[in-house]
A and B are shown apart, each in its own frame.
Chain A
Amino acid sequence: MDRLTMIKYVLGVVILLLTLGFPLIVTQPSLVNFAILVLMAAQLGVAWNILGGYAGQVSLGHAVFYGIGAYASSVLAAKFGLSPWLGMLAGGVIASLFSLVVGWPCFRLKGHYFAMATLAIAAIVEILVTNWDYVEGAIGISLPMNTSGWAAMVFTRSKTPYFYIALGLLLFSLAVSWIFKRSYIGYYFRAIKEDPDAARSLGVSLSHYKLIAIAASAFLTAMGGTLYAQKELFIDPGSVLVGSLSIKIALIAILGGVGTLFGPVMGAVVLITIEEFTRQMFGSTGMGTDMIIYGGIIVVIAVFSPGGIAALFAERERAWRARQRRVVFNPPGEGI
């Protein structure tokens, strides 16, 4: 273990401890809420990254899985009184099944075509749910907030418990992502991403592993959707199924660095900071200044650092190792 790796581990532990203690140090509700937003965004980016980053299948319709998670748990809670913890699992299972049904035909498509198919599917589901009376259509579902506490996953007094749920969900997603990255499946994913024809000629079943990727990604995304529903206690198609949400989920991972373990987390920190900052500073004016800055930064990053934030760090690391006069091979897709 060299110095850099050690620094990384120490830094990781320090960041984890600081995050764990964050609500104890910072008590300002708006800052805690900001931290929750970052954690939730990071979790979605990590989930998207399994499909879009490792397996290279760019989805622009992840809001559909998020919406399924939010709607499944909310309908089960509001109509059948089921605990949202079980609802979260149910949402994940339904989203996974749905992802398999749509993934099976769509995985024949490549590049732009797959991305556009996911975009279309998400838009269709949004329209159908908006016109579906059983789930209250465009009006949306309000969740009962009479029972507060861990069993009901409703916390009315302080938002801090949501912080820990979001953190737990993020760590769980990172663990899943790490397992995928390190296991043989991760290598298959990378082979499928880099050269699908070569992968197939070596006997890797493309559709089989793409389906594994989308099912896992959908499950985790749906869990995030349930958490959102419990935090806001109100969902409607405009908040959990809307197309701009799909793009935002993808953007988190892309901004941070596609195909890296911690890239989406960095992307979430940067994106949510920009978003909230510009909204606080300029949003209330209704002048669109927040959109100008937000859009401008996206363009600049896409143009000047196509590999995302993680690529900047990876470059530094390569340079540092080169200075240590040690030749290190960095396989493609390996960020930090």
Chain B
Amino acid sequence: MTNLTVTLLAQTVASGLMIGLIYALIAIGLTLIFGVMDIVNFAHGEFLMLGMYASFWGASLFLLDPLVTLPLTALMLFALGVLIYRLVIRRILAAPMLSQIFATFGMMILLRGVAQFLWKPDHRTVSHSLVEGKITVLGLQFGTPQLTASLGAVLVTGGIWWFLNRTRLGTALEATSIDREAATLMGINSQRMFALAWGLGAACAGVAGALLSTYFPIFPEVGADFILIAFVVVVLGGFGSVAGAFWAGIIVGEVEVLGGFFVGPAYKTALVLSLFLLVLLFRPRGLMGKA
């Protein structure tokens, strides 16, 4: 192999890692919700989309960088997640799986429609971003927005992990996801935990959206590009496993870019989905899921 090929390959692996970390953050939100209450949220990509629009409006109305408004974006999405739980999800907890799928699916269409209504179907980009240009490390070029976004994703993922494993509230959430009834008997209010899971899940997707908004176009259907990938990451990592989703996100990012590199960009999603099927068939509990 020539030197050029090695550099190119290293560059590809690095970009796979960077996008993989974003996938991981999106999927962690999804897996939290699933782990705690067994509901697959089809509207998860729309939380991401709303996070992107929140950043966009912060940037265009108040000239605030998406990274500055990020905590606010997270809070707003947290509130939206809790609101959706209160209004819709709470009522379908005992419903058959089908109605649950379609409640969140209907919400997906609804939120896309709302975005289109409020902000038109145009593609938009954030213009004044703190992070622009490229930096070169060890002969590899990194886009500064991409690098910042993946670093941000790692930080938030670490924060979520710390919250779940090292705080009282987080432990209560974990307990609810392991055994709802036992947790209730221990005095944990499972309704509050469910609301918390929705808030956190939506906030994760919203933060990922804010991080992406520095370099990714913003439009009402943008969630569709990410939701399928997020499903793959969740299944690969094991439903409900935050650590699993983190590693799976990186694997999926790598499969995607390396697949695009070796097989062709047109097939990269097909490769990721094939990996998904293989995992489903041969190890349905994923890398780190509960048996």
Contact = CB atoms under 8 A, between A and B. Distances in A.
Contact of A306 (B40, B96, B117, B277): B96
B116 interface: yes
A291 B109 contact: yes
A283 to B, nearest CB: 11
A94 to B, nearest CB: 20
Nearest to A123: B273
B269 to A, nearest CB: 6
B113 A292 contact: yes
Contact of A113 (B106, B228, B269, B280): B280
Contact of A299 (B97, B107, B267): B107
Interface string B41-60: 00000000000000000000
Contacts of B120: 286
A120 B273 contact: yes
B110 interface: yes
Contacts of B273: 120, 123-124, 127
Interface residues of A, number: 45
A58 B117 contact: no
B198 interface: no
Interface in A273-312: 286-299, 301-304, 306
A207 interface: no
Contact of A120 (B95, B266, B276, B284): B276
Interface string B103-143: 10111111111111100110000000000000000000000
A290 B121 CA distance: 14
A306 B92 contact: yes
B91 A291 contact: no
A304 B235 CA distance: 30
A145 interface: no
A295 B269 contact: no
A295 B110 contact: yes
A80 to B, nearest CB: 27
A288 B280 contact: no
Which one of A121, A123, A295, A299 has the highest number of Cβ atoms from chain B below 10 Å of its Cβ?
A299
Contact of A303 (B103, B109, B277, B284): B103
B114 A128 contact: no
Contacts, number: 133
Contacts of B235: 113, 116
Interface in A238-261: 247, 251, 254, 258
A97 interface: no
Contacts of B107: 295, 299
Contacts of A112: 40, 97, 239
Interface in B232-248: 232, 235, 239
A321 to B, nearest CB: 24
B99 interface: yes
A141 to B, nearest CB: 19
A160 interface: no
A116 B109 CA distance: 19
B236 to A, nearest CB: 12
B267 A109 contact: no
Residue in A121, A124, A251 whose Cβ sees the most chain B Cβ within 10 Å: A124
B249 interface: no
B220 interface: yes
A106 interface: yes
B85 interface: no
A287 B95 contact: no
Interface string B62-92: 0000000000000000000000000010011
B281 interface: yes
Contacts of A127: 266-267, 269-270, 273
B281 A288 contact: no
A106 B281 CA distance: 7
A290 B98 CA distance: 23
A131 interface: yes
B101 interface: yes
Contact of A289 (B96, B117, B220): B117
Given A288-B117, A291-B113, A302 B106 contact: yes
B111 A299 contact: no
Given A112-B97, A127-B270, 12 more contacts: A58-B101, A108-B281, A112-B40, A116-B40, A116-B235, A120-B232, A123-B270, A123-B273, A288-B121, A294-B109, A299-B107, A306-B98
30 contacts: A52-B98, A111-B97, A112-B97, A113-B284, A117-B281, A119-B231, A120-B276, A120-B277, A120-B280, A123-B228, A123-B269, A127-B266, A130-B266, A254-B99, A254-B102, A288-B114, A290-B113, A291-B109, A291-B113, A294-B109, A295-B106, A296-B106, A298-B106, A299-B110, A302-B100, A303-B92, A303-B99, A306-B92, A306-B95, A306-B99
